[in-house]
Amino acid sequence: MTATRIDGKAFAAQLRDRVGKDAAEFETRAGRKAGLAVVLVGEDPASQVYVGSKGKATVAAGMASFEHKLPADASAEDLLALVDRLNSDPSVDGILVQLPLPGHLDEQSIISAISPDKDVDGFHVINAGRLSVGQSGFVPCTPLGCMMLLTDRLGDLSGLEAVVIGRSNIVGKPMAQLLLDANATVTIAHSRTKDLPGVVKRADIVVAAVGRPEMVKAEWLKPGATVIDVGINRLPPEPGTEKGRLVGDVAFDEASEIAGAITPVPGGVGPMTIAVLLRNTLVAAYRNEGLDVPEDL
């Protein structure tokens, strides 16, 4: 048996198409474009790439992109003043402060300063609280993207046993909450879990989000399980090559012989993250204007 490959790239393209259509409708009804402000502090190369790709995707979806760059030595006061201005700017629907921040800045205090209704990353403690009690808020983009892939593949998740490997605030915890809300039976596993392979073996759904290359082996998996691999790890380069290859947290080739369906790395969860960010921004725009959010978002 060879697992079905879950094509996150194709699903993300469909979502972006829907966002583009609904963004045009929003502009017609509101008289302005939905707007996403991205704040970059410092010159981290990876962060610069991410910010650039988010800006291009925002414009491609028919929304306004506002990029704000501060020097690496910017003070907390400067950054908080910028966030405050963006909170009160009616042309800005979503605010994203690119992480990680330089070491002298406290990430949690900066995130807490963003209006929860413009927190399209879903990192604000109020949005985390809304998720935990079943209220409408913003969910971090990666787990929400994973959930879209799962429901597209499996439909109703009621009664299925799900294991989430990883307990971060960005992926693991919100992922578990989303699965619980979908009536799955959920276990959060982590580095201290006893008999981790045995725990994972029970699961109909496995979400791996630990940042350890190819940690999850084929023998850990229940035959036919659906595997969502959130990890993106670069292996050391092989002799004669400049860059090592990208792999996930799951040993893809061997896992594909056991799983029923699996996301590849790259091309699985990764493309979903920016697509969901665009979706969250447009949802924020509709809400900010007091308009009903389209059902296809």
Active site residue ranges:
54, 98, 121
Q: Yes or no: say if 179 and 147 are a contact pair by the CB < 8 Å rule.
A: yes
Report the candidate in 242, 224, 226 with the shortest Cα–Cα distance to residue 234.
242
Q: Which residues lie closer than 8 Å to 171 by C-beta, 6 or more apart?
A: 140, 142, 143, 209, 230
Distance of CA 137 to the CA centre of its chain: 15
Number of CB atoms found within 10 A of residue 37's CB? 27
How far is the C-alpha of 242 from the C-alpha of 282, rounded, in Å? 40
CA angle 243, 249, 253 (to 5 degrees): 80
How far is the C-alpha of 210 from the C-alpha of 113, rounded, in Å? 28
Report the candidate in 248, 240, 175, 165 with the shortest Cα–Cα distance to residue 200.
165
